[in-house]
Amino acid sequence: MASYLLKGFACVRKPTMIALMEWFRGKNFQTGTQISGPILKIKAEQFATMLGYTDFTCTTGWLDQFEARHNICSGRLCGKARSSNTKSVDSWFNSVWPVLRPQYKAEGKHFSI
């Protein structure tokens, strides 16, 4: 493919990706709603149209690349993951973890919680 075509594609892709990511962050983090791939495709095409890119079509490959680039995992939360609440997690960290922590010697090891 000619380099001028690739540059044109990148020009369409980047503003659309930025707009979609801003929308996704706002929707996902503020409301906690899960957003599916088809919804992301529709929103990407809407943003591309609003930005003046009328010939943009959001393909599955484009969506896969968008999700990989921004570390977005798709999947359904079910069972305990869906019903977990942050109050019980905070309670555990404040009451149980301080008791357990002295029993473990880190000695140069780093752990993520």
Q: Computed from CA positions of residues 19, 25, 30, 36, in that sequence, does the dihedral angle turn out positive or negative?
A: positive
Q: How many structural domains is the chain composed of? A: 1
Is the pTM higher than 0.75? Answer: no
Report CA-CA distances (Å) from 39 to 20, 60, 98.
11, 12, 43
* Tens digit of pLDDT at every position of the chain (113 positions): 434 344 444 555 788 888 888 888 877 666 667 778 888 899 999 989 998 888 888 888 888 888 888 888 765 554 455 555 667 777 877 888 788 777 766 665 555 55
Q: Could you report the per-residue pLDDT of 34-55, keeping only the tens digit for each? A: 778 888 899 999 989 998 888 8
CATH number of the domain that residue 71 is part of:
1.10.10
Is 73 strand, coil or helix? coil
pLDDT at residue number 98: 81
Domain that includes residue 28, residue range: 3-77
Name 48's Cβ contacts closer than 8 Å, sequence gap at least 6. 12, 16, 54, 56, 58
Instruction: Kindly state whether residue 32 falls inside one of the protein's structural domains.
Output: yes
Residue labelled with tokens 């929308």: 23
